[in-house]
Amino acid sequence: MRRSHRPQCVTGTYFISSERIKDAIDFVRTEADAIGCEFKDLFACVDTENWPFLSDLTVDVTCHIRFLIQECNKHICEPPAHFVQQQEVVMGECAKLAQRVESVYMSTRGKTARVPLINQLVYLGESFSRFVDLALGLLVQTIVFGLELTADVRNLLLAISDVISLGMEGDHMCYILVREGVMLSLFNICNMETLLKVRAQALRAISTICCIPESIQELEKVGGLECLTDILSDKAQGEEVRGEAAGVVAQATSPAHEHHLPMVGLIDNMNDLLKTLIDLCHTAISNEVFLLASAAIANITFMDSNASDILLYLKAPSVLLQCCLLNKATTIFAKDQVASILANMAVMESCQAEISRQNGIDILLNYLHEEPSSFRSAVEIAACERVLQKAAIALTRLSRDECRAQLIAKSQGIPRLVKLCRNANSRNNSDAVLVACLAALRKICSVCGNHGVDPKDFKQLIEPRLMDSFLICTHTEENFV
């Protein structure tokens, strides 16, 4: 078992009060942050040799730490020995700090005593951080045990709700949740046929904490991908549950993660996973479910180039473009996913032909006419920029064939690409969109000639080096020679 300490106060219901544990965790984190700020003041006092204030502040910090320890003990039933020992270490370091501060305050050796004093502050800070980490872990364990008390659905939902709430408070909290076994408990819930009513909520909780490398590693370790694939392939689950499962896959495979790790299990399950996700896109009634499923597919195409072969076999271009015609991809976020999939698939020549056969060029040209100025929120504007960029990239790749390049030109693709290059507002001053559009223009004209292209546009956007055209369009002070 991963956890050696089990609070004795846990009985047949989820703790004495679910709110008490969540409030206790919030309280510990808030007070720890406040003490952290006080530590910064202590270091500042040492740097400025403000010994009188350092003495007073040391007393305040020590009292604050003692107060936090007492409050933690009120919420942690029968604390384990290592936790009690860490409390003693912290209080011992507090006493050593007080002695050093008093010694410096009473002597005239302030400058020579700075290094030992700073070292003592570091020792106290490290031991205090360790204490806070242990306290949060023990409190989270109580929530984990609540997840294991599956007889009462109401209390189980309260525990899951706590996980979601805590998971939204940052990466460190997600790390503690995963370390204490939340991932395994949540997947155990998903695998239980008697808990179908809470499966969607459990999947949402998993998605919430799948934002750090440790979460994704744990997901693989507990057989999460296999479980998700089974849920996605079971149409009896209902659209909401399957949509939440797709959301977990999308979150776990997101290229936005800072330290993105390859998922070994993804290769083993890729065929089945993509098949179920494409099927979910096809059958989805909810636009949100379509968004989640398409996002998962898009992320997988970024992670593994073999995904394009599988998607081609599954007739993904046909399914996705049909979904677009059925108005499933109406939001800019859904269009972002569709554009990503088409752009990534368009790397392969066999996929290019299929995208063209399914009138993918028309969809991509429509995406090219999205206007960032028509959106208000920063996330929507950023998504619109990505749609423009990926549509231009997809068109560049499709233009390797002369017939397709001619089709793009005849469909008035060139004037729109020129406008996106010339008019900074039309691309929200995005350099990424500009580069993609310049590349598309150059590819189309290199394949089917520059007929119909304004001579000035040809001279400034197509004929020069790419960097020179870029500088012209961004109106820098550098001149094209």
Domain spans in the chain, listed from the N-terminal domain onward: 18-139, 263-358, 367-476
Which range (166-180, 207-221, 282-296, 463-477) has the least confidence? 463-477
Indicate whether 153 pLDDT > 50.
yes
Cβ within 8 Å of residue 456, ≥6 positions away: none
What's the chain's Rg over C-alpha atoms? 29
Amino acid 481: pLDDT: 39
pTM of the model: 0.87
Mean of pLDDT over the chain: 89
Q: Superfamily assignment of 18-139 in CATH?
A: Nucleotidyltransferases  domain 2 (1.20.120.330)
CB 123 within 8 A of CB 162: no
Cβ within 8 Å of residue 209, ≥6 positions away: 163, 167, 174, 177, 178, 182, 183, 215
Amino acid 470: pLDDT: 93
Indicate whether 165 pLDDT > 90.
yes
Amino acid 19: pLDDT: 56
Amino acid 448: pLDDT: 87
CB 194 within 8 A of CB 150: yes
Matching residue, tokens 């993105």: 260
Tell me the C-alpha distance between 108 and 418, whole Å.
Answer: 74
Matching residue, tokens 């106290």: 124
Matching residue, tokens 């972002």: 336
Compute the Cα dihedral for 122, 83, 209, 375 and give only its sign. negative
Tell me the C-alpha distance between 276 and 297, whole Å.
Answer: 10
| Band of pLDDT at residue 111, cut at 50, 70 and 90 | low
Amino acid 332: pLDDT: 97
